[in-house]
Amino acid sequence: MTPDVYDLEFSDTALTTYTLVRQSWLAINRYAEAKLAKVGVTPEKFLVLWACRDYPGSLIPAEIARISHRENQTIAGLLNRMEKEGLVQRIPKRKGHPFTEVQSTAKGRKLLAEALPVFRSVVTDLISDMPLPKQKECQQWHRELRDKALDKLHMVSGSPAEGLTGKPVEFQW
């Protein structure tokens, strides 16, 4: 099979690194898209459904935007489509709850149950056989790169929502 991606080596090492990081992300995402498409879900919809199930506390559109590194209006459009498909419902603001909450429907929960093993196979296929020290090194390197990019955008990374500080968000397989 002929690769559809060039393995480019530039005279500027930083440019080669950037290109490999970008190509890696695009290839990983394409692989995830192809696998998840078999059960009828996109990676973006999958993430929303997973967050609806496992996010501690009320899940609001702004939090989905932060989790997914997307703009609020992009998430609004995604939620509109998912609501039309019957995968999620938005609970309007009400007394004591100043924000619109997002919850999955029975149909959304069923789709998530089908998609989770598929997504887990993506992670297993691509990462699980990497030695743990190498995974930790990769995580550290990517955190540094992400945080530097966010700093340049005048944004900060951090823990989700108040009250969850210092605790990892436990997404369950």
Q: Determine the pLDDT at residue 169.
A: 65
The predicted model gives 67-71 an average pLDDT of 90
- The answer to whether the beta carbons of residues 82 and 48 sit under 8 Å apart is yes
Phi/psi of residue 11, nearest 5 degrees = -65, -25
* Residues 136, 126: Cα–Cα separation, whole Å: 15
The DSSP bridge partners found for residue 94 are: 97
Residue 153 CA, distance from chain mean position: 19
Domain ranges of the chain: 13-122
CATH numeric code, 13-122: 1.10.10.10
The predicted model gives 110-138 an average pLDDT of 95
pLDDT at residue 164 tops 60: no
Percent of the chain with pLDDT over 70: 88
Residue 14's nearest CA partner among 4, 6, 22 is: 22
- The confidence band for 57, taking pLDDT boundaries of 50, 70 and 90, is confident
The predicted model gives 70-75 an average pLDDT of 93
Q: Is the pTM of this model over 0.75?
A: yes
pLDDT at residue 161 tops 70: no
pLDDT at residue 165 tops 70: no
pLDDT at residue 63 tops 60: yes
pLDDT at residue 25 tops 80: yes
